[in-house]
Amino acid sequence: MCDYKVLYKDSSGYVVKCESCNSLQLAFGNVSFPIKESDFVILYSVVERELENRVEDTDQLIRKIYLVIPGSKTSLVFNLFELKNFQHLLQEAHLQNEINILLQ
């Protein structure tokens, strides 16, 4: 049974990590899914690259940014505003996870 510790939580969602098996659970909006730590790192870098490519996007409220979640058959579709919120969630969780690893 998993014993989850919150890595980061805000009004958009959360990322938790099981201290027993190191699995992650990611929630954003009304979607929640498990993700391996290695796939989480890949997802974080994919979102970072996607944001770099869309800085000048003028249609910020149209959902046209399609991302496949690494290691799954799940896809998420974002507008630019949502993608920025998702990136913030992933970034904070990633940083907290790195801090936790260093403190072990």
Boundaries of domain holding 35: 4-103
Nearest to 37, CA basis, from 100, 103, 88, 104: 100
Q: What is the pLDDT of residues 9-55, one digit of tens each?
A: 999 999 999 988 889 999 999 999 999 999 999 999 999 999 888 76
**In angstroms, rounded to a whole number, what is the distance separating the alpha carbons of residues 91 and 3?**
22
**In angstroms, rounded to a whole number, what is the distance separating the alpha carbons of residues 99 and 50?**
25
**For the chain, what is the domain count?**
1
Percent composition of the chain: helix, strand, coil (DSSP 3-state, to 5): 40, 30, 30
Under the banding of pLDDT at 50, 70 and 90, the label for residue 2 is: confident
By DSSP bridging, strand 31-35 and strand 13-18 are unpaired
